[in-house]
Amino acid sequence: MGILPDWDAARNAIAELRPSTITVYLDGVWIWLLQPLTDQQRRRLERQCHHLRVEDGPAWFNHELRQYLQVTRPNQEAMRFLSRRPHHLSHYQVAVDWSITDPEEHAKVDKAVQLCLIKRWHRNAQVYQIEATSYFSENLRAANLLLTYGDKFNRHTGECHTVHIEWRTQSRAAVKRSGIENLDDLIKLDLREFLRDKLKFAVPNIEKLGQRNHRYIKGKGNRRGAHSYYRKIGEQLLTRLQARLEAEGKQLSTQRIIDAHRGQFRVSECLEQIEIGHLIPLLEENAGQSTEVEARKGIWIDGHHKDSGDSLELIWQMTWENPKIKLDELRTRTRQQNYQIPDFVLIETKNQFLDVCQFLRLNDCLITR
């Protein structure tokens, strides 16, 4: 049998985390339109989001809905443009990225998040692992789906050591239950407050687990002052659960403890919550600060940071002189001059950053609702 996780180390990793960048953003919206977009409107919308998927044809549930859009990381202009058109909002995704400078700290935080993140009202769902991504339901089309991973770079800043946590609301009924009727409501939604409410972290109190197991499963009365006895029972309980999970190729976590003992006793009474307010700060808590993207001079190429130099100057020059140049042509020109086009450009002022983001069709990550 394996050694139990170090819950105290996981708690400290999250409580003491101070990311170099905190990015809170709308990761995507899926809508049906009554009136299809023209080709010109499509091209305009493509410039205002990271990716646009369009399917023409009536919806199976309402033939008046004529066009289906999946809009990935739309900026505020795209949201306002779509909100003015009659639409049916069926799906939205809200995410937070924590970028961490130190690779060792990133590995510890990623492990701690996988260990301590929990989803309220999980019901009969189970945590489902696909490679490095944890989905908090084996049904990836669940009405409310929580997921996390730490093996990809930050899509906004290019920093390669990032922990990503995402909440997906994936049905019209779930969208309405969340208090959202249309894109106007989503534009007004405080994404930080939303994630503060949805994301919960906790570690088990092993002594209380042992006490509940002794009382409700074994059916025995409480023992006064039996703290070490209850802790021993709790450790045995978790050790057996861990052995069973490892036989199935899974790892022990707070969520799996909850799932394993659901219906036997109130596991919520045996958990110690971890405060994460500092990891999703409200806007008024950061007056005068840019918590979305820290201003740095330099570029990120393939997840690696480079000092600013000729390649960055070339990108600036071509951007300012040829604002309508296509990205493919820019890649060709940079290759001809032995330069690499960076996936992400980090420069010193907000306006310059927004211009380059718009030019490279990246999400406007400095403006957040």
Q: Which tokens hold the place of 115?
A: 């260990």
Long-range contacts of the stretch 312-319 (C-beta < 8 A, 24+): 312/342, 312/345, 312/347, 314/339, 315/341, 315/342, 315/345, 315/356, 316/347, 316/352, 316/356, 319/355, 319/356, 319/359
**Among 125, 162, 108, which residue's Cα sits nearest to residue 303?**
162
What secondary structure letter does DSSP report for 268?
A: G
* End-to-end CA, the chain: 47
Q: Where are the domains of the chain?
A: 203-267, 298-360
Express as a percent the part of the chain with pLDDT over 70.
73
Question: Beta strands of the chain (E only): which ranges?
Answer: 21-33, 51-56, 67-72, 87-99, 117-118, 128-130, 133-135, 144-149, 162-169, 200-204, 271-274, 298-301, 304-306, 344-346
Q: Does residue 54 contact residue 69 with C-beta atoms inside 8 Å? A: yes
At residue 132, the pLDDT reads 85
Burial class (CB in 10 A: 0-12, 13-18, 19+), 221: exposed
Tens-digit pLDDT profile for residues 88-137: 999 999 999 999 988 899 999 999 999 999 988 777 778 888 888 889 88
Query: Do 188 and 269 contact (CB within 8 A), yes or no?
Result: no
pTM across the whole model: 0.74
At residue 137, the pLDDT reads 86
pLDDT tens by residue, 150-159: 888 787 777 7
Mark residue 5 as left, alpha or beta (left: phi above 0; alpha: psi -120 to 50; beta: remaining). Answer: beta
Number of Cβ within a 10 Å radius of residue 189: 17
Mean pLDDT of the 348-367 span: 44
Q: How far apart are CA 50 and CA 75, in angstroms?
A: 9
pLDDT bucket at 223, cuts 50 / 70 / 90: low
- What amino acid occupies position 142? A
